[in-house]
Structure 1
Amino acid sequence: MTEDNKPDRPARQSRTGPTATGARKASAKSARSRAREFALQALYQYIVGGNDAQAIDVFTRDLAGFHKADSVHYDALLHGCVKEAAELDALILPLLDRKMQEISPIEHGIMWIGAYEFRHCADVPWRVVLNECIELAKEFGGTDGHKYVNAVLNGLAPQLRTAEVEADKASGKAR
């Protein structure tokens, strides 16, 4: 107990802003960010367990908080990544410094999400896709997984979003 008879505990953290790891807190997340999180969880089940995408979909929709996610974006990510898994891997593989089997299933799923969004979600700027994937890796991946995801997707963006990346370079916005 402290001098004023209050228990010794840390100050209450706000519900918005970053967590201790740098990831955004749940209340600060958009419906699309939540959709990416649920899609990542579903893709993890697909990659690790080899479960049927439809069964994973039914299970995931029943999870707490799913109602706050953009279900249309979630559908596109889950079913699109499963359908195009071989194509997405073919895009990612040349940018890896190790075998795909050595990549964490979390980072693998995040890279699928990034590659899929680069290819099919032109309404989402490439830098937003990149940032969202880095945030997913910070929250769910290994200690430095976000750095690996960043490097791979930064290498993929110029291939899949050529005009957009070039425009950012020309304006001095590219990393």
Structure 2
Amino acid sequence: MQVLYQVDVGKMAVDEALRNIQENFVLAESDFEFASQLVYGTLEKMEELDKTIAGYSREWQLERMAAVDRNILRLAMYEMLYVDDIPHGVSINEAVELAKRFGGKDSGKFINGILGAFARRVGETRA
């Protein structure tokens, strides 16, 4: 989420943002590779993800959402759509925890509401 935020808000190059994360956090190589796959996958599908998010956040335009919330939603929806070995509930729970830690006071509820509705719509195929 922090890499996506740096790319979105800071207009940082993806490789530079990934290097920052790698330098500032102790990550096993496999964790860094997984994080990189999530970042590149999310960015590759961002237009589709943003359209989906906009469809579920009728009261909030994507551009007016808090940048943290927007990027958490992008990442979680990417996982839910394209990462088969992560259950939807896990993606939602992790997103809510990120929102509580990095977002505003109502971010957790906002993220949970959108992702919960999305999960119900696409069907909970992964328990």
TM norm structure 1: 0.66
* C-alpha spacing 1:68/1:147, structure 2 compared with 1 (3 Å): farther
1:126 to 83, 88, 100: 88
* C-alpha spacing 1:69/1:136, structure 2 compared with 1 (3 Å): farther
CA distance in 2, matches of 1:46, 1:159: 29
- The reply on whether 1:135 has 2:61 as its aligned counterpart is no
The gaps in structure 2 that reach 5 residues or longer are none
CA distance in 2, matches of 1:130, 1:67: 24
CA distance in 1, matches of 2:56, 2:78: 16
Matched residue, 1:102: 64
* C-alpha spacing 1:54/1:144, structure 2 compared with 1 (3 Å): same
* Deviation string, structure 1 residues 81-121 (Cα, Å, up to 9, x no partner): 11111111011101111111110110011001110000111
- The reply on whether 1:149 has 2:111 as its aligned counterpart is yes
CA distance in 1, matches of 2:28, 2:66: 28
* Deviation string, structure 1 residues 22-56 (Cα, Å, up to 9, x no partner): xxxxxxxxxxxxxxxxxx11111111022211221
- The reply on whether 1:52 has 2:33 as its aligned counterpart is no
TM norm structure 2: 0.89
Q: Give 1 or 2: higher helix fraction.
A: 2
- Say which one has the larger Rg: 1
Contact 1:53 1:82 in 2 (8 A): no
Alignment coverage as a number of residue pairs: 126
1:111 to 54, 68, 73: 73
- State, as a whole percentage, how many aligned pairs show the same letter: 26
Structure with higher RCO (Cα < 8 A, 6+ apart): 2
